[in-house]
Amino acid sequence: MATDKHRLETIPNWIFFLVILGSMAYITLYPLGLPIPVTQLTKDTYAVVDALNEGDIILMDHGYGAGTIASHEPGFVVIFKHAMEKGAKVIMVSTSVESPLLLDAAIAKIKPEAKGYVYGEDWIHFGYLSGGEAAYAAILDDITGTFTADYEDTPLSQLPLAQELGSPTWQKIALVYVMSAGGDVCEGWIRQSAVRFDIPMIQQPLEMMVPTILPYYPINVQGVLNGGIGAAEYELFSGFPGEAVKLSDMLSMGGLVHLIFLILGNIGFFLKRKGGA
């Protein structure tokens, strides 16, 4: 009997992984359409984007990698759609090496051209820039001095929106939107943008990184999107349902199974202690 109690707190990894994988696969194949409550963080994020006026320029740090697509891409897609709805212009930079190559897939979901958005006039992708916090500062000081061409190597002189930016760039930016898995990226943008120039800012870190951004909310960061869950809430709240809503069932199931294992582990631990093992 004592061995059975021990088993509860020493379930092999392969069983643990198999149960999580199986349950998430099942819910993906047979979605339940579980409800999603919208939190205040998401409502605040929505309000910041909704306050944009036609012609306002939003600077996006498209800074996620292949590993965090599920957490970041849906939020990027829905906020871009919302910005288009408001008639805002979008300029994008990438502080992650991988992210420029992930943009095509996201843009295919956004379909800016369907809203009449013209590349170079209404939105631009400048591409990757190394240098960390110094790069964020340089972008905000003079983006046309920092980049000479966009990601597709089109000279900035041929892109009207780039000409509109000029120097100092920060004066033309109405909102900064940072999506990144790196805490240093999120905090670096806060220091260089929100603290230095008081530009409104929204951020979409990974779920596990949200607590590190909360100290800056709502003073420096006016909206925080809680990773993939936040994106699902935003999709529902803004009326642009997308991939995050579909993924939320999976998040619910994964979280529940994880919790059940935590409880089982502790039951096993208590039984073992009670039995004096």
Partner 1 sequence: MSTARTYKRQIPLALTFIVGMIITFDWFIKWEPLQNLTTTIMNFQIIMVAFMMGFAGINLVIIHTRRIQQNMSDNKMFDVLLSVVLLGCLIIWTIAGIGIGRNSDTYKWLFNTFNQPLGATAYAATLFYLASATYRVLRVRSAETGVLLLVAFITILGNIPLITTYVPIIITIRTWIADYLVKFSYRAITIGVGLGGIMMGVRTLLAMETGYLGAVEE
Could you check whether the bond before residue 218 is cis, i.e. omega within 30 degrees of 0?
Answer: yes
For residue 268, the minimal CB distance to partner 1 (Å) is 9
Q: What element of type H or E holds 28?
A: helix 13-29
Q: Which CB, 33 or 116, lies closer to partner 1?
A: 33
Say if residues 193 and 199 touch (Cβ distance below 8 Å).
yes
Could you check whether the bond before residue 112 is cis, i.e. omega within 30 degrees of 0?
Answer: no
For residue 111, the minimal CB distance to partner 1 (Å) is 19
For residue 257, the minimal CB distance to partner 1 (Å) is 9
Any idea what DSSP says for residue 123? E
Site residues (vs partner 1, CB under 8 A) = 9, 11, 13, 16-17, 20, 34-37, 39-40, 65-69, 98, 101-102, 104, 129-132, 134-135, 137-138, 141-142, 145-146, 151-153, 167-168, 196, 207, 211-212, 214-215, 217, 226, 229, 232, 248, 251-252, 255-256, 258-259, 261-262, 265-266, 269-270
For residue 102, the minimal CB distance to partner 1 (Å) is 7
Q: Which CB, 66 or 115, lies closer to partner 1?
A: 66
Q: Which residues contact 273 (CB under 8 A, 6 or more apart)?
A: none
The SS3 call for residue 153 is coil
For residue 74, the minimal CB distance to partner 1 (Å) is 14
Q: Which CB, 87 or 120, lies closer to partner 1?
A: 120
Tell me the two tokens of residue 11.
């379930």
Q: Which CB, 88 or 136, lies closer to partner 1?
A: 136
Q: Which residues contact 267 (CB under 8 A, 6 or more apart)?
A: 8
For residue 266, the minimal CB distance to partner 1 (Å) is 6
Q: Which CB, 17 or 26, lies closer to partner 1?
A: 17
Q: Which CB, 55 or 255, lies closer to partner 1?
A: 255
Query: In what order do the strands lie in the sheet containing 201-204?
Result: 123-128, 89-94, 57-63, 173-180, 201-204, 223-224
Block residue for tokens 């202690």: 273
